[in-house]
Amino acid sequence: MGWSSVSAAVVPAEDRFEWFREAVASEVMPLSISTDHAAGFHADIAGVELGPVRMASFAYSPIVARRSAAHVRQGDPEDYQLTLVSGGSFRLSHTGRDELIAGDMVLADTSRPMTTECVRADGPVRAVVLQVPRSAVPLRPERVDRLLARRIPARRGSGAILSGFLNTLVGQAPYCAEEELAGLGPVVLDLVGACLAHQLGALDEVPADARARLTLERVLAFIEHNLGDPDLTPRLIAERHNLSLRALYALFEDRPESVAATVRRRRLERSHADLARRDPGDRSVQAVAARWGFSSHAVFSRAFREWYGVTPSEHRAGAEAGAGAGAGAGAGARTGACVADASDGQAVGAGQGTSVATGAA
């Protein structure tokens, strides 16, 4: 099933909280939800199935969600629930622990009672929630238990790679075909497994594929942050990640383009966007070429024309005229609309459907 989204705005204002409460309890798992904001309640929900994994994005008024032992007996998906809190804060009480989360991630087990207080003083609470079958996590349950109701940093290391991938997926999933989304399930599982293993100091316990996926995402993030360096070569990238060139090339074997082609594509895409901007910054072709690491004006112009079918100057003039000459045209689409590069804010092309995933959130 593809990406779907729905808003409480589709029902009368006085019924919106009840709509949200019933949607979460019926679509996800049994729990009770209360709020002090029923009169002006707001909620937007979007969700998608990624193979065995369910992901949802939420924006809603502050609530308290309780999942009791009776709720567990009533219905249990037997999942781990990983929540990225991107707006407001979550106070999770679970397995005898209390943790306040803001801007980071937290893990819960749907087979155990939990209480989540979701608060925000200005605007809606925002969160991305993954529901991952416990059987799909490549770590012993007793080890994962150590991470329940513990803050998992989302702004550095493997947590930043996972959270970046999730945010990218939320932004790009509406443009993905269902089969593309389903194919991203193993990627998500690899990144979740590697992130949890890293928190436990147990990366050697996860499959080699998951470790390779984590390394690949680190490489992609490094590329994205260093596109302006004209010396950004495969050799430099390999050295910075303690990889041999052979190992680096192996990471890209199953991708639609090589490491050098990835650097070239991202430089062209960044240049394309800069030339179309209407701010007063320096948008001369020469300045844009230098900003994104091209060795010369001639090299940039030739590569741009080959990729987009127009020269940089023609594209800029078209953008200024409101026509956007060359935008979205030419070979720029060669890599496909569904390339999951979490580091660069691109992931994947188009589908509709209905799937809601959350927990006591």
Q: DSSP states of 289-352 as a string?
A: HHHTT-S-HHHHHHHHHHHHSS-HHHHHHHHHTTS-TTTT-GGGGTT-S---BGGGTB---B--
**361, 62 Cβ separation under 8 angstroms:** no
Q: What is the pLDDT of residue 282?
A: 65
Q: What is the pLDDT of residue 360?
A: 52
pLDDT per residue of the chain (361 residues) written in tens, 0 to 9: 678 889 999 999 999 999 999 988 887 899 999 999 899 899 999 999 998 899 999 999 999 999 999 999 999 999 999 999 999 999 999 999 999 999 999 999 999 999 999 988 788 999 999 999 999 998 889 999 999 999 999 998 889 989 999 999 999 888 888 888 888 888 898 889 989 998 998 777 777 887 788 788 889 888 988 999 999 999 999 998 889 999 999 999 988 999 999 999 999 999 999 898 866 566 788 999 999 999 999 999 999 999 999 999 999 888 877 744 444 444 444 434 444 444 443 333 323 333 334 445 4
Q: How far apart (Å, rounded) are the C-alpha atoms in residues 356 and 46?
A: 7
Q: Are strands 89-94 and 4-7 parallel, antiparallel or unpaired?
A: unpaired
Q: How far apart (Å, rounded) are the C-alpha atoms in residues 106 and 79?
A: 14
Q: Locate the DSSP E strands across the chain.
A: 4-7, 32-34, 43-50, 53-60, 63-67, 79-87, 89-94, 97-101, 105-109, 114-119, 125-133, 151-152
Q: How far apart (Å, rounded) are the C-alpha atoms in residues 177 and 170?
A: 14
Q: How far apart (Å, rounded) are the C-alpha atoms in residues 148 and 290?
A: 47
* Token output for 307: 């990729």
Q: How far apart (Å, rounded) are the C-alpha atoms in residues 161 and 56?
A: 18
**88, 42 Cβ separation under 8 angstroms:** no
Is pTM beyond 0.75 here? Answer: no
Q: What is the pLDDT of residue 336?
A: 41
Q: What is the pLDDT of residue 281?
A: 63
| Domains delineated in the chain | 4-218 (2.60.120.10), 226-339 (1.10.10.60)
